Amino acid sequence: MAKVLTRIFATPSKYVQGLGAINELGKHVKDLGKRAFVMGGPTALSLTEESMRKSLKESGVEVVGVDRTVKECTHEAINRLSKESKDKGAEVIIGAGGGKAVDTAKAVAWRAGELPVVMVPTQCATNADASALSVVYTEKHEFVEYLVYPKHPELVLVDTNIVGRCPAKFLVRGMGDALACKFEAEACRASSSPSFLGGLSTDAGLALTQLCFENLMKFGLLAKRSMEMGAVTPAVEKIIESIKLLSGVGWEVTGLAAAHAIHNGLTILPGLHAEHGEIVAFGTIAQLVLESKTLEEINPIVDWCVKVGLPTTLAELGLSDVKKEDLLKAAEKACDPNDTMGNMPFPVTPEMVRDAIIVADRIGKERKGK
């Protein structure tokens, strides 16, 4: 592989977060385009459409179309919506919802003539908003491909009155995904592996992932407790920023490694019953084992996972009866040369991954039982 020598850092042009931020949408969109096409799922738009319309109207931005049917980021949806937004003369695309809606909006904006795109997330289980890529699936949620764009969204607008008041389980999943970014960033740095931007990570990128991890450890549990009470406290604001901005930008500018590769490997096992962030959190513990971190380093992180309600055992992932030979198959998948295991700073074999998973599970059981 050719050596990469340059460091790259890139982000969305503007990030806005706070209680009632959606009421400022028009103010930020008006400089991007005067004709907006809005898309999202029915739930997301029932939460946001009225406020978005009001704010856009106040700033002189016309809504030329609304599609409330986005369920999955498929090529069919991208083709249909990019044609429709072109036909309606859209100048800016707004995607409201979870990862699927914002990924669809990014793809539509690009296809409809490299239009500016605005992300209005409605929950925090994903950190897809800030990145310059979409993950395309089939209607049955089978992975198809990554679409990578040369530019980032112009605006990520996070109204914590909406995102901070969704069920706390979404926050927990988002934290699980965000937990990995510091460790994967450090692995990519140690191996001089390029990030998704095609360059090495900068110290700025690494600092984002470090702060993300510190915030999770300090404020994660308090944020979850707050959201369970329907309260948007400073801890909730900190954790939403950690998921949406620190990890959202951080992972893209530093790179992925074992934690996500192990996630991808585990997804082939029948019985697996967990969300992306939950599986990534478990994969993070397995990566720490793989890196021969000490129990003094691993235990506090496992204890934090137990406290916030992230799975730390195979049983909690729906894999209580998984056989060793099936774990080896998952480990082989995790070591697929097209995946990110190769970003680890030492050679990794499927047997090493299987054993790290078994030990991560054992540590999780011990810490849960203590």
Instruction: Decide if 141 is catalytic.
Output: no
Position with the least CB separation from Zn ion: 177
276 carries an active-site annotation: yes
Cα(116)–Cα(151) distance, rounded to whole angstroms?
A: 9
Which entry of 159, 177, 355, 361 is annotated as an active-site residue? 177
Cα end-to-end span (Å), the chain: 46
Torsion of CA 253, 258, 264, 268, to 10 degrees: 180
Q: Which residue has the tokens 């000490």?
A: 294
User: What residue ranges bind Zn ion (CB under 5 A)?
Assistant: 177
Nearer of residues 184 and 355 to Zn ion, judged by Cβ: 184
Strand order through the sheet with 14-18: 14-18, 155-159, 117-121, 92-97, 35-40, 62-67
Nearer to Zn ion, 158 or 232 (CB): 158
Q: Smallest gap, in angstroms, from Cβ of residue 66 to Zn ion?
A: 29
Is 28 catalytic? The answer is no
Q: How far is the CB of 20 from Zn ion (least distance, A)?
A: 29
Pick between residue 51 and residue 123 the one whose CB is nearest to Zn ion: 123
How would you classify residue 301: left for phi > 0, otherwise alpha for psi between -120 and 50, otherwise beta? alpha
Q: What are phi and psi of 146, to 5 degrees?
A: -95, 135
The DSSP line for 115-169 is --EEEEES-SS---TTSSEEEEE-TT--EEEEEE-SS--SEEEEEHHHHTTS-HH
Q: Which residues on neighbouring strands pair with residue 143, listed in sequence order?
A: 137
Does the annotation count 361 as an active-site position?
Answer: no
Query: C-beta of 280: minimal distance to Zn ion in Å?
Result: 5
- Closest approach of Zn ion to the CB of residue 210, in Å: 18
Catalytic choice (263, 339, 355, 361): 263
Measure the CA–CA gap between 238 and 40, rounded to whole angstroms. 26
Instruction: State the catalytic residue, choosing from 67, 103, 159, 260.
Output: 260
Compare residues 215 and 340 and give the one whose CB is closer to Zn ion: 340
Task: Report the nearest approach of Zn ion to the CB of residue 197 (Å).
Answer: 16
**Smaller CB distance to Zn ion: residue 67 or 177?**
177
Q: Which residues are catalytic?
A: 177, 260, 263, 276
